[in-house]
């Protein structure tokens, strides 16, 4: 594995595993005014993770300040800690997979969705070099996984539920026809693909790029573009503490507008090199070629179905709830789309 790939993988692992509890248990200052008249807001951001490029740009380009906010960030380290920080009011918001918010809300944690920055399923399946020769549509590729070992970043998590759903849609029994194991980091997936102990791995970008660059395999199925239609949509939502969201509607709108401004700025071809600079320095350890590929993915796929105003698509939200219920994460009848929303 090259030095660049190790650095990128390490950053991704840190975004998944590092534990940053600096804000936990502290008294929140969110909603207070600074001397300059800005409203304080504490958000979460995983260091090195591609999804937080819009947060970095909103901060560096002054969009938060333009919209009246003074934003500070906390690295939650993992999903459970992220939801706890939100529920406690130690932080007010985070961009994240809606599934985490659904599971937390169903257990009584006061977490809601105030917007959605991405409405596409970002999971991609990488596979060994042997499997990359499989031709055909998504169903043919899923069928070819029969008898294989598939790695997911967490049993019962969003990626795991997506994988089992795809297998079932292709006519396979996930409990009998394949072996599903947990592999939580990209470096571990690269190693196990090289050793032949796993045959496929589902994760978000840039996992497939890293695996390909390491020579351990490559992209097998891009679900957002090549998966069955019912799996192509998902929500990367703006999750918030419910009490904060209900009591601070102006701050909610300022946060949403700041994200909108950042996404528009990233989409503008005139800013391409500047965005690549941000991704290279924060996600790809100065690999500008990889940063350019990731920017293209964000613009052409991730943000391709993001409407102006960043509303939460209630149909997709209900689909996500149904998936969580089917997977046993959320009890049937305990959560509706309306429960997760705050009127804007």
The predicted structure's pLDDT at residue 238: 98
What global pTM score does this model have?
0.89
The predicted structure's pLDDT at residue 317: 97
Per-residue pLDDT reduced to its tens digit, 217-249: 999 999 999 999 999 999 999 999 999 999 999
- List C-alpha distances in Å: 37 to 33, 70, 259, 297: 5, 9, 20, 37
Per-residue pLDDT reduced to its tens digit, 90-116: 999 999 999 999 999 999 999 999 999
Q: Rounded to an integer, what distance in angstroms lies between the CA atom of residue 28 and that of residue 20?
A: 16
- DSSP strand pairing (93-97 vs 39-44): parallel
Rounded to an integer, the average pLDDT of 69-98 is 95
Per-residue pLDDT reduced to its tens digit, 33-58: 999 999 999 999 999 999 999 999 99
- Residue 279 in contact with residue 291, Cβ under 8 Å? yes
Per-residue pLDDT reduced to its tens digit, 260-302: 999 999 999 999 999 999 999 999 999 999 999 999 999 999 9
The predicted structure's pLDDT at residue 31: 80
pLDDT at 4 over 60: no
Band of residue 30 on the pLDDT scale cut at 50, 70, 90: confident
Mean pLDDT of the chain, nearest integer: 92
CB atoms < 10 A from the CB of 249, how many?
Answer: 13
Rounded to an integer, the average pLDDT of 2-9 is 52
Q: Which residue, among 115, 99, 213, has the nearest Cα to 160 in the 3D structure? A: 99
Concatenated DSSP letters of 237-296: EEEEEHHHHHH-HHHHHHHHHHHHHHHHHHH-GGGHHHHHHHHHHHTSTT-HHHHHHHHH
Structure tokens at 278: 């941000």
Rounded to an integer, the average pLDDT of 211-219 is 97
The predicted structure's pLDDT at residue 151: 98
Rounded to an integer, the average pLDDT of 10-15 is 48
Rounded to an integer, the average pLDDT of 120-132 is 97
pLDDT at 20 over 60: no
Bond into 206 cis (ω within 30): yes
Q: Rounded to an integer, what distance in angstroms lies between the CA atom of residue 290 and that of residue 287?
A: 6
The predicted structure's pLDDT at residue 1: 53
Q: Rounded to an integer, what distance in angstroms lies between the CA atom of residue 91 and that of residue 334?
A: 26
Q: Rounded to an integer, what distance in angstroms lies between the CA atom of residue 320 and that of residue 86?
A: 20
- Please name each of the domains of the chain with its CATH number: 3-121+233-340 (3.40.190.10), 124-227 (3.40.190.10)
């Amino acid at each position: 594995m090259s030095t660049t790939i190790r650095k990128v993988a390490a950053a991704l692992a840190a975004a998944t595993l590092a534990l940053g509890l600096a804000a936990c248990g502290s008294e929140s200052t969110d909603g207070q005014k600074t001397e300059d008249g800005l409203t304080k807001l504490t958000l979460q951001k995983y260091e090195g993770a591609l999804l937080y490029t819009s947060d970095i740009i909103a901060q560096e380009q002054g969009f938060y300040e333009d919209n009246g906010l003074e934003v500070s960030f906390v690295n939650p380290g993992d999903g459970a800690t992220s939801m706890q920080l939100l529920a406690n009011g130690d932080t007010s918001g985070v961009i994240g997979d809606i599934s985490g918010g659904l599971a937390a809300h169903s257990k009584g944690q006061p977490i809601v969705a105030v917007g959605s920055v991405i409405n596409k399923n970002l999971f991609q399946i990488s596979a060994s070099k042997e499997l990359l020769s499989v031709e055909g549509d998504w169903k043919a590729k899923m069928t070819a996984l029969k008898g294989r070992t598939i790695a997911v970043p967490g049993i019962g998590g969003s990626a795991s539920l997506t994988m089992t759903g795809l297998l079932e849609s292709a006519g396979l029994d996930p409990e009998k026809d394949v072996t599903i194991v947990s592999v939580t980091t990209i470096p571990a997936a690269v190693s196990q693909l090289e050793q032949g102990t796993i045959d496929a791995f589902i994760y978000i970008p840039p996992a497939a790029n890293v695996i390909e660059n390491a020579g351990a395999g490559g992209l097998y199925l891009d679900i957002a573009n090549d998966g069955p239609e019912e799996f192509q949509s998902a929500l990367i939502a703006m999750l918030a503490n419910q009490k904060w969201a209900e009591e601070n509607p102006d701050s909610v709108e300022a946060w949403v507008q700041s994200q909108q401004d950042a996404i528009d700025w990233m989409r503008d071809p005139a800013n391409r090199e500047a965005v690549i600079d941000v991704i290279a320095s924060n996600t790809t350890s100065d690999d500008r070629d990889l940063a350019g590929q990731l920017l293209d993915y964000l613009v052409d796929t991730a943000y391709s179905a993001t409407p102006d105003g960043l509303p939460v698509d209630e149909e997709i939200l209900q689909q996500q709830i149904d998936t969580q219920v089917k997977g046993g994460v959320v009890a049937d009848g305990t959560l509706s789309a309306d429960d997760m929303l705050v009127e804007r």
